Amino acid sequence: MDEEQVDATLAAALADMDVEHHRRAPGEYMVTLPGTNRLQTHCWLVVRDHALFVQAFVCRKPDEAHEAVYRFLLQRNARLYGVHYALDRIGDIHLIGRISLRAVDADEVDRVLGQVLDAADNDFNTLLEIGFAGSIRREHAWRRERGESTANLRAFEHLFN
């Protein structure tokens, strides 16, 4: 399959999935995946010479417990389909993958985007809990001192005891 055919396949697949997306240029799509823990995950789909490149930002570089975060990511990689966790040059966490152009069809696009959404959304709170526990505790204390809402910190209540 050539790059134009893959572009047409992506356009049709994304339209059929009824997922928010923007075509920046031929073969370049920014897809917005809605989540629960992570409200949105933005995922690039970019057609290159021999593969469809997939990249989604998940979380910034952790403030603490780097080894524990990286261990979690490496262990999680063993259970992911089509993508894997990686760090960029400043340490931010992304999901990346490459799919052979020959393998790109609507079902494969759906599977890979589903995996990106599942991983980014379901792992998000765990990554925050491991890599930002101190910041979360400070934020909670600061809000309580000022009588502000702590509703969006409920997922981390076990850290405040």
Range of the domain at 18: 3-132
Domain assignment of residue 65, yes or no: yes
What pTM, to 2 d.p., does this model score?
A: 0.92
Residue with tokens 């990249």: 55
Residue range 1-21, pLDDT digits in tens: 788 899 999 999 999 998 999
Structure tokens at 160: 């405040």
Domain assignment of residue 7, yes or no: yes
Quickly state the pLDDT bin for 155 (edges 50, 70, 90).
confident
Using CB atoms within 10 A of its CB, is residue 24 exposed (0-12), middle (13-18) or buried (19+)?
exposed
Residue 101 belongs to a domain with what CATH number?
Answer: 3.30.1460.10
Residue range 69-110, pLDDT digits in tens: 999 999 999 999 999 999 999 999 999 999 999 999 999 999
Domain assignment of residue 160, yes or no: no
The total domain count for the chain is: 1
Domain assignment of residue 41, yes or no: yes
Phi and psi angles of residue 129, each rounded to the nearest 5 degrees, phi first? -60, -40
